[in-house]
Amino acid sequence: MKCPRCSREITVHEPRCAGCGFHIAELDALAVPPPKRRGLLNDFAGVIEPAWTDKLQTALETFRADAARVLPGVEIVIVTQKTTAPLTPQQYVFWLFNHWNIGGLRADENRGLLLLLALDERRVESEIGYGLEPFVSDRLTGEVLDHVVVPLLKEGSYGEAFHFGVKLLADIVLEGLRNLKTKGGKRKGHEKS
């Protein structure tokens, strides 16, 4: 995870940033208790259209199941909030990622990606866990958000925006996982073809 103040890498095990001294507890002091997680789709703002809810839920579950064949615990989680105040959306997505243990808590896990929509702030933010960084970068995630998700959100198509975004991000991660499996399979002599 990146420090929300200076972007340096920090983890739940070294919660004080060596770069700027920022500590995760500073956000706890500002924010209300974190909301209770409802699984993969946490539409607290109630913006995902009913016609898209099941499709989006299925896409998130399918991705988790497909990824688990290679690497357990990999997940994409979505949260929508009317506002993230008093935190900024960037602080909030980082803070929530930690409190929800997205993709597992151990430092070699953290195999998750959290997507946040903050309605009042008109922002979409992402937090990628340490264990998922080999498969999807901040840059690629940013491109998917900027070029696919945000334009659809601006049209008011919330469900479609996230569904499309999740599909693209899932493909990127699964491609990375397949490469990992191929290499691992050859090394261990499990390659079938």
Residues that bind Zn ion (CB under 5 A): 3, 5-6, 8, 17, 19-20, 22
**Residue (19 or 184) nearer to Zn ion, CB:** 19
Helix H or strand E encompassing 75 = strand 75-81
CB nearer Zn ion, residue 75 or residue 125 = 125
- Asked if 85 contacts 126 with a C-beta cutoff of 8 angstroms, the reply is no
Residue type present at position 33: P
State the nearest-atom distance from the C-beta of 94 to Zn ion, in Å: 11
Contact status, residue 97 vs residue 1, Cβ threshold 8 Å: yes
CB of 15 to Zn ion, least distance (A): 11
Determine whether 154 is exposed, middle or buried from the number of CB atoms within 10 Å of its CB (0-12, 13-18, 19+): exposed
Tell me, what amino acid is at 34?
P
CA-to-CA distance for 107 and 116, rounded, in angstroms? 22
Q: How far is the CB of 107 from Zn ion (least distance, A)?
A: 18
CB of 18 to Zn ion, least distance (A): 8
Nearest to 67 by CA among 124, 116, 129: 129
Closer CB to Zn ion, 9 or 171, in the complex: 9
d(CA 129, CA 126) in angstroms, rounded, equals 10
Say how far apart CA 18 and CA 27 lie, in whole Å. 17
Q: Identify which of residues 20 and 30 has a Cβ nearer to Zn ion in the complex.
A: 20
For Zn ion, give the closer residue by CB, 17 or 60: 17
Question: From the CB of 11, what's the least distance to Zn ion, in Å?
Answer: 12
